[in-house]
Amino acid sequence: MRARWISLTILLLTLQCGEGPSQPRSRTPSSLEELHSSLLLIDAHNDLPSYTVRGVDVGKPRNEGHTDLPRLRQGGVDAVFFSAYVARGYVGKNQAAHRLLEMIDAIRTDIVERYPNDFVLALTADDIQRAHREGKIAALIGIEGGHAIEDSLRILRCAYALGARYMTLTHANTNNWADSSGDLDDPTVKHHGGLTPFGEEVVREMNRLGMIVDVSHVSDQTFWDVLRVSRAPVIASHSSCRAISHIARNLSDEMIRALAQKGGVICINFGCEFVSQASADASPYFNPKLAKQLRPGERPQVPRARLEDVVAHIERVVKVAGIEAVGIGSDFDGVECTPIGLDDVSKFPALTEALLARGYRRDQIAQIYGGNLLRVMRAVEAVARQLRSGR
């Protein structure tokens, strides 16, 4: 036991003192496990609530999907932004805000209240760190799809009061105040050319409340409008690099640099099509040309990406914008195809192993996994305090 402790200490010292990317080292599974579990890992986007809302029990291991409590523990996940996702169909039924409340409840009641020894609702960066010290998983709420607030700042404020700490301004659909990247080529959709004046008001109110503005899913024009309007750093909660997989859902190098300059973070999406061009090209959802060629009902097999593809996206952000600009936003249970080796939430230690093998130090991995997002949260909280005190 003592010998193991000493060897772990030596390992940690070596990692702390290492100078940037260097030689890969071999590691025993237990030392990797201990190193991984000591890191505060925040996943900025997980769609499990779309299952708990239908009655799935997060505490029971399940054969399908990517997330359950046993696998979160196995994967050493310490904090998760659970997605209060509102499908666009609820807009037509005039039930978008109704659905938003149901989704928030699917997080608060079905995840946090049901398993109080494992989850705790987190509202601030401090809450996340406290949960980590107490060995609990911090559950956070992120709204996905700005149509959920039904064009009402009052509903936005109610969602904040219920715990929502970011809002993805659009989903794949353009709403009444922000263009999405998902329907730009649809001539039946009325586009605004980015954010409308009310959209700008939404961003300003989010700044005042202390809710992070999330630019995943928005059009490029909306992205640039948000960067101009927001007083606080913004995030892309689940997007990857367009330079590697050229899809509208990913960010260009120029966008990543601008996001970083504002103090923001791009949280890498693990979905196969997000990280691999070959996967994106084979998917009718991401490749409109292919969609037109297919006969109705035809569903081509999408080749799976690999763990190494995810590492390549992390390294791309580090290269173009610095290590301060990158985070993790897996989109587990929101994407159908996950990379080989990063199949579900239990596989995060394999990502740690891959980053160590690429020469990243423990403190650098800690920054990627949680430090950067905590910094954004603190900055957003500080801006809100400032704006609310009228300065």
For the stretch 151-187, what's the b/e string if a residue is b when 16 or more beta carbons lie within 10 angstroms of its beta carbon?
A: bebebbbbbbebbbbbbbbbbebbbebbbbbbbeeee
What is the DSSP annotation of 164-219?
EEEEES-SSS--SSB-BSSSTT-TTS---SSB-HHHHHHHHHHHHHT-EEE-TTB-
Which residue, among 355, 258, 363, 260, has the nearest Cα to 315 in the 3D structure? Answer: 355
Q: Catalytic site residue 191?
A: no
Q: Among the options 66, 132, 147, 217, which is catalytic?
A: 217
Q: Catalytic site residue 171?
A: yes
Q: Catalytic site residue 45?
A: yes
Q: Among the options 220, 273, 331, 353, which is catalytic?
A: 331
Q: Among the options 68, 110, 144, 273, which is catalytic?
A: 144
Q: Among the options 45, 132, 147, 192, which is catalytic?
A: 45
What DSSP state is assigned to residue 55? T
Which residue, among 200, 201, 233, 235, has the nearest Cα to 317 in the 3D structure? Answer: 235
Half-sphere exposure of 97 (CA within 13 A, CB side): 13
Q: Catalytic site residue 331?
A: yes
Q: Could you give the maximum distance between any two Cα atoms of the chain, in Å?
A: 69
Q: Among the options 47, 127, 150, 179, which is catalytic?
A: 47
Q: Catalytic site residue 214?
A: no
How many CB atoms are closer than 10 A to CB 23? 7
Is residue 61 helix, strand or coil? coil
Q: The tokens 């090209």 sit on which residue?
A: 281
Q: Among the options 220, 238, 273, 353, which is catalytic?
A: 238
Q: Catalytic site residue 313?
A: no
Q: Catalytic site residue 192?
A: no
Cα–chain center distance at 34: 24
Q: Among the options 171, 214, 220, 313, which is catalytic?
A: 171
Residues assigned a catalytic role: 45, 47, 144, 171, 217, 238, 331
